[in-house]
């Protein structure tokens, strides 16, 4: 393998009479000479044809630049789109903006409980409100689709307040339980 010119100078300078610090200094001088020769052989890039000495930059001018400050909402939207979080965000909006989605009057008397597989379970304040919400189910689905997006909620499961459970307690008796209490 042919030796580089700087290596020849180092080999010539490192004769049997050099050792230790002198040898290290000779190798360093040879490396610096090689670097200077490489820098002189390389042409400098300039910013203009006149040779004013300015180096080119990646971006210049008054136009938009990816390094410019971005709006937080735009950055958040881009990240959500990249990571596929649109559907979970829309599902969360059903719960977070329930009053805006269904209206203040309906929101006062109902609460969304869970959303699984496109089926939204809504608990009404009373059985009368549960019946009313069942009659308004198509309108509610249309409003939800308009606010949070289509196919987020495909069906509503509306129920009234839960009756007290007789399955637990200190005086629970095995059997069918009270039958004439709600009749």
Could you state, in order of their start, the residue ranges of all structural domains in the chain? 84-159
pLDDT (tens digit, 0 to 9) for every residue of the chain, 183 residues total? 444 554 454 455 445 567 788 888 898 899 999 988 888 887 665 544 444 555 556 666 787 777 788 899 999 999 999 998 888 888 888 898 899 989 999 999 999 999 998 899 999 999 999 999 999 999 999 999 998 888 889 999 999 887 666 667 777 767 666 666 654
Q: What topology does CATH give the domain 84-159?
A: GMP Synthetase; Chain A, domain 3 (3.30.300)
Provide the token pair at 90.
Answer: 């829309």
Q: How far apart are CA 163 and CA 179, in angstroms?
A: 13
> Beta-strand (E) ranges in the chain?
110-116, 119-124, 155-159
Identify the three-state secondary structure at position 81: helix
Dihedral over alpha carbons 142, 144, 146, 150 (to 10 degrees): -90
Q: pTM of the predicted model, to two decimals?
A: 0.51
């Amino acid at each position: 393998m042919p030796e580089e010119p700087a290596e020849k100078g180092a080999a010539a300078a490192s004769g049997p009479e050099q050792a230790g610090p002198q040898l290290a200094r000779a190798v360093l001088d040879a490396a610096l000479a090689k670097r200077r020769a490489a820098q002189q052989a390389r042409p400098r890039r300039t910013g203009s044809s006149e040779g004013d000495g300015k180096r080119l930059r990646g971006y210049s001018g008054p136009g938009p630049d990816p390094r410019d400050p971005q709006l937080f909402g735009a950055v958040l939207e881009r990240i959500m789109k990249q990571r596929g979080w649109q559907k979970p965000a829309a599902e969360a909006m059903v719960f977070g903006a329930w009053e805006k989605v269904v209206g203040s009057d309906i929101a006062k008397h109902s609460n969304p409980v869970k959303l699984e597989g496109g089926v939204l379970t809504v608990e009404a304040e009373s059985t009368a409100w549960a019946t009313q919400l069942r009659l308004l189910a198509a309108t509610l689905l249309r409003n939800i689709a308009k606010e949070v997006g289509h196919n987020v909620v495909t069906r509503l499961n509306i129920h009234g307040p839960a009756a007290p459970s007789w399955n637990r307690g200190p005086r629970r008796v095995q059997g069918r339980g009270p039958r004439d209490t709600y009749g």
